[in-house]
Amino acid sequence: MKGLQMIKRMRQMASGQGMMEQMAEQLLPMAEPVLQQLFEKFNKPVEDGGLLEDGDYGVGFSIMPMKKGEEWTFIYLIVVYTYDDETGRMYISKKKPVTELANQ
């Protein structure tokens, strides 16, 4: 039931007069150069200073909801994807906060 409540809450937030869409439209162009730098820095093997280990496919960007007390907020993550041959699907194998990676 908690998962369903979270989805409903996210829909409510997203439908709030298009606020989430407007915010994304405004913030993504500003964030794109920084994200590109992070991808270039971390989309390589661990031996070369990146995040990829054997079997990892690549890195991506994710915005995840998080509840702190009674308040909802969002955290920004660089995620590492792994490809599963059996299912033909990509899975997130690691998550690192952008703020943590930006300080490295």
pLDDT, one tens digit per residue, over 27-43 is: 677 777 877 888 889 99
Which tens digits make up the pLDDT trace of 37-96? 888 899 999 999 999 999 899 999 888 888 888 888 888 889 999 998 899 999 999 999
Strand, helix or coil for residue 42: helix
d(CA 77, CA 79): 6
Percent helix, strand, coil in the chain, to 5, is: 45, 35, 20
DSSP 47: G
pTM, to two decimals: 0.64
